[in-house]
Structure 1
Amino acid sequence: MLNRDEDILQAAETWQKQGHGVALATVVDTWGSAPRPAGSSLVINDEGTFLGSVSGGCVEGAVVTEALDVIASGQPKMLEFGVADETAWNVGLSCGGTIRVFVEKVG
């Protein structure tokens, strides 16, 4: 079972209270056969620990890596993964769709 939005937000709050930097990644747009719908979220802390899902597992590693950069810089990023993108094949998004994921620092 995927984590509920409440669990993801609770993890973000807990990690912040523990002094961690935190980022939230949210699917903002999908096209074709996307693994997760728009609104799906993943929360990441500055140690690379994460909760939730933006892709059913196929691009989470790449999103976590980008989220660590967002935590360090404070600058949000828009990420796109799709079957036509060479990066998508490298991270395993071969489902035929495209997803756009917005990553922002929390707090």
Structure 2
Amino acid sequence: MLDRDEDILKAAESWAEVDKGVALATVIETWGSAPRPAGSNLVVNEDGTFLGSVSGGCVEGAVVTEALDVISSGAPRMLEFGVADETAWTVGLSCGGRIRVFVEKVV
């Protein structure tokens, strides 16, 4: 099982070496209660295969979707997830915290 950040980054490198499009998502900031600490990584290839974790649940799915867009466009993205009364039924963190995730293409 690949559960260390070094393993996740090695997987990204090996996918890139065989000419698969790859994106790396990194938690760069957290506020309050957050499922994963800053520095946590998730890597996604162009087939939608992913390893690692930046949060879990709906947030993970949203990050994978955004990462696929980053692979296609090459443009990095800053994502922010949290919970507020008006967005309680959309993608967010039920723990009440917030996270900021940077997604970039691996070249």
TM-score, normalised via structure 1 length = 0.91
Whole-Å Cα distance in 1 between the matches of residues 81 and 92 of structure 2? 10
Contact 1:31-1:99 within 8 A present in 2 as well? yes
Contact 1:77-1:103 within 8 A present in 2 as well? yes
Tell me the CA shift for residue 35 of structure 1: 0.7
Corresponding residue number in structure 2 for 1:9: 9
Q: Where in structure 1 do 4 or more consecutive aligned residues deviate above 3 Å?
A: none
1:11-38, CA deviations, whole angstroms, 9 ceiling, x for partnerless residues?
A: 1011111210000000000001111100
Corresponding residue number in structure 2 for 1:31: 31
Q: Please, which moves more after superposition, 97-106 or 2-11? A: 2-11
Corresponding residue number in structure 1 for 2:48: 48
Contact 1:2-1:53 within 8 A present in 2 as well? no
Is the aligned partner of 1:68 residue 2:68? yes
Structure 1: any 5+ residue segments left out of the alignment?
Answer: none
Count of residue pairs the alignment pairs up: 106
Corresponding residue number in structure 1 for 2:94: 94
Identical-pair percentage = 79
TM-score, normalised via structure 2 length = 0.91
1:41-94, CA deviations, whole angstroms, 9 ceiling, x for partnerless residues?
A: 0000011100000003441100000000000000000000001272x6423521
